[in-house]
């Protein structure tokens, strides 16, 4: 009987040691939430968006990174081993897939990039036309995307894409 009481006493103390700080932490978070909501005239929905954006790292304006364009960008940086670090998988499954994708994609990418230069006889004029045409298309479509998503004028977007592609790098914030 005495050992049972001791066990309960130890159990109760352990539970309080674990739970009481958690309870007081929750109360503190609730008080801070109320102060923020009053100070900045926020609704519950506003606070939930703020909390999701800051605490859970949920993107607010840019949207989720794993749309087609974000996934394509990530896949390209993986197989080219550039790896800027802007987008990374957060889940265990995503990280595991990334490792297997890199194991298969990097060698295949190397083979593909190695074979790019092996073409039938091509004149310098052909190369100039192809490079100029592709560069122009890249700048034009890039400018279209920047003007839409960054709310820049089309000319500012063209200038940004041109200076980026030519690596001049004289761009101020458009």
Q: Which of 46, 61, 76 is the last residue of a domain?
A: 61
**Residues 111 and 143 placed together within one structural domain of the fold:** no
Residue 129's Cβ-side half-sphere holds a number of Cα atoms within 13 Å equal to 5
**Residues 77 and 98 placed together within one structural domain of the fold:** yes
Separation between Cα atoms, residue 18 and residue 35, nearest integer Å: 27
**Residues 68 and 55 placed together within one structural domain of the fold:** no
**Residues 144 and 113 placed together within one structural domain of the fold:** no
Write the CATH number for 88: 1.10.287.70
**Residues 52 and 69 placed together within one structural domain of the fold:** no
**Residues 127 and 173 placed together within one structural domain of the fold:** yes
Residue 144 confidence (pLDDT): 93
**Residues 2 and 57 placed together within one structural domain of the fold:** yes
Residue 174 confidence (pLDDT): 54
Residue 98 confidence (pLDDT): 82
Q: How confident is the chain (174 residues) per 10-residue block, as mean pLDDT?
A: 56 53 73 89 86 66 66 81 70 81 85 75 82 90 90 87 68 54
**Residues 50 and 96 placed together within one structural domain of the fold:** no
User: What is the SS3 assignment for 45?
Assistant: helix
Q: Who's near 163: CB < 8 A, 6+ residues apart?
A: 169, 170, 171
Encoding tokens for residue 24?
């007081």
User: What is the SS3 assignment for 82?
Assistant: coil
Q: Which of 13, 35, 61 is the last residue of a domain?
A: 61
**Residues 114 and 162 placed together within one structural domain of the fold:** no
**Residues 22 and 33 placed together within one structural domain of the fold:** yes
**Residues 3 and 51 placed together within one structural domain of the fold:** yes
Residue 137 confidence (pLDDT): 93
Tell me how many domains the chain contains.
3
Q: H helices of the chain, where?
A: 2-39, 44-54, 68-79, 92-116, 124-149, 154-165
Separation between Cα atoms, residue 49 and residue 35, nearest integer Å: 16
Separation between Cα atoms, residue 90 and residue 113, nearest integer Å: 29
**Residues 104 and 138 placed together within one structural domain of the fold:** no
| In the block, residue with structure tokens 């790896």 | 83
Q: What is the pTM of this model?
A: 0.38
Domain ranges, residue 165: 122-174
Q: Which of 14, 42, 61 is the last residue of a domain?
A: 61
């Amino acid at each position: 009987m005495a050992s049972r009481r001791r066990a309960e006493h130890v159990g109760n103390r352990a539970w309080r040691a674990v739970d009481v700080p958690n309870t007081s932490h929750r109360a503190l978070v609730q008080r801070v939430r109320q102060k923020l909501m009053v100070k900045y005239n926020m609704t519950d929905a506003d606070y939930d968006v703020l909390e999701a954006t800051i605490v859970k790292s949920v993107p607010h304006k840019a949207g989720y990174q794993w749309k087609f364009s974000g996934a394509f960008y990530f896949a390209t940086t993986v197989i080219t081993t550039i790896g800027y670090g802007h987008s990374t998988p957060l889940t265990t499954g995503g990280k595991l897939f990334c490792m297997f994708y890199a194991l298969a994609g990097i060698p295949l990418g190397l083979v593909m990039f190695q074979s790019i230069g092996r073409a039938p006889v091509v004149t310098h004029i052909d190369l100039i036309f192809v490079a100029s045409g592709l560069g122009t298309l890249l700048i034009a479509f890039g400018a279209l995307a920047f003007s839409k998503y960054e709310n820049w004028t089309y000319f500012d977007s063209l200038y940004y894409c041109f200076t980026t592609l030519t690596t001049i790098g004289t761009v101020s914030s458009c």
